[in-house]
Structure 1
Amino acid sequence: MSTPAPPPAPVLPLTWSPRRNRYVLLPLCGVMVIVFTVLAFALPANWHTNDRAAMVVCGLIFAGVALMLARPRVSADETGVTVVNFVRSRRLAWAEIVRVNLRAGDPWVILDLADGTSLAAVGIQPGAGRAQAVTAARTLRDLVDDRGTARR
């Protein structure tokens, strides 16, 4: 009997992101801006210009928050991993990542780092599909195992 061949290494660069969130949130941003702008002009005549401007600004603020919610992703390339979360992004070399965790009940992948801290990788989350998140976490873990230990 022959030993089964290991699965082929994934081709880099790879990007994981909750696509359904983006498909919903990006059009919603445009709709919010349009609705609040239309409401601002449809207000009764006794509303002042600054009230109308405030309505438009509220639409822009809500759209900005929705854009932040659509931001998360995890990108892997030859030199490391870029984790983009809601507000911040961080670039990690392969050797900086010690372990990739996705336990039952976790809202997203957690990366244990060489400096003793952890980093949430919101771009890989079971809310977008458990099987898809597990596959993405395993792929990232395999990449960390292959590339992180080879350069330590």
Structure 2
Amino acid sequence: MSTADALPVTWAPRRTRAVLVPMSVLLVIVFTVIAFALPANWHLNDRVAMVVSGLLFAGVALMLARPRVRADAEGVTVVNFVRSRRLAWAEIVRVNFRAGDPWVVLDLADGTALAAVGIQAGGGRDRAIAAARTLRDLVDGHHAS
């Protein structure tokens, strides 16, 4: 079975998500409880600000849990913290994951580079190396055809 037969495939830092998603829920709960537990001399707008603060912190945590890389027959979708980018296979020149790099970097045909944060060393260096090799093999396989 070739590497292309395994498509679609998605890589994401699962440990990071496993920590950040529950933490987001916990942040909203804690800030809401604090808002209701404030002394009586605190105004409604102070309480609302506490709940909104919890929602903002949770939103940032969820944003940090967003990164993923998804490869399918047509190309690769890179979802980073704020932006997403869809790439055709022909747009990817090389997949780089050098020693010390926090995540994979894709060299693109237009001369730019794109961080693929969804494949990162933080979730385990060996797992990230295997994912980078698989993505590299997929890129090479699509360039050969």
Alignment TM class, shorter chain as reference: over 0.9
Q: Distance in 2 between matches of 1:92 and 1:123?
A: 15
1:139 aligns with one of 109, 120, 134: 134
Query: Structure 1 residue 148: deviation in Å?
Result: 2.8
Matched with 1:51 is: 46
Return the TM-score normalized by structure 1.
Answer: 0.93
Query: Structure 1 residue 127: deviation in Å?
Result: 1.2
- Pairing 1:126–2:141 present: no
Question: Over residues 27-50 of structure 1, what are the superposed CA-to-partner deviations in whole Å (9 max), with x where a residue is unaligned?
Answer: 111110000000000000000000
Matched with 1:26 is: 21
Residue segments in structure 2 that go unaligned for 5+ positions in a row: none
Question: Over residues 111-150 of structure 1, what are the superposed CA-to-partner deviations in whole Å (9 max), with x where a residue is unaligned?
Answer: 0000000000000001110000000000000000011342
Matched with 1:74 is: 69
Matched with 1:9 is: 3
Deviates more, 1:9-18 or 1:98-107: 9-18
Question: Over residues 51-92 of structure 1, what are the superposed CA-to-partner deviations in whole Å (9 max), with x where a residue is unaligned?
Answer: 000000000000000000000000000000000000000000
Q: Distance in 2 between matches of 1:53 and 1:23?
A: 28
Matched with 1:104 is: 99
Q: Distance in 1 between matches of 2:31 and 2:126?
A: 38
Matched with 2:82 is: 87
Secondary structure in structure 1 of the residue aligned to 2:3: coil
AA partner of residue 79 (structure 1):
E
Would you tell me which structure has more helix in proportion to its own residues? 2
Query: Structure 1 residue 9: deviation in Å?
Result: 1.9
AA partner of residue 111 (structure 1):
L
Secondary structure in structure 2 of the residue aligned to 1:90: strand
Would you tell me which structure has more strand in proportion to its own residues? 2
Secondary structure in structure 2 of the residue aligned to 1:115: coil
Residue segments in structure 1 that go unaligned for 5+ positions in a row: 1-6
Q: Distance in 2 between matches of 1:126 and 1:78?
A: 26
Q: Distance in 2 between matches of 1:50 and 1:149?
A: 62
Q: How many residues align?
A: 144
What is the CA RMSD across the aligned residues, in angstroms? 0.9
| Amino-acid identity (%) | 74
Moved over 6 A (4+): none
Query: Structure 1 residue 8: deviation in Å?
Result: 3.4
Return the TM-score normalized by structure 2.
Answer: 0.97
Q: Distance in 2 between matches of 1:46 and 1:60?
A: 23
Q: Which of 1 and 2 has greater Rg?
A: 1
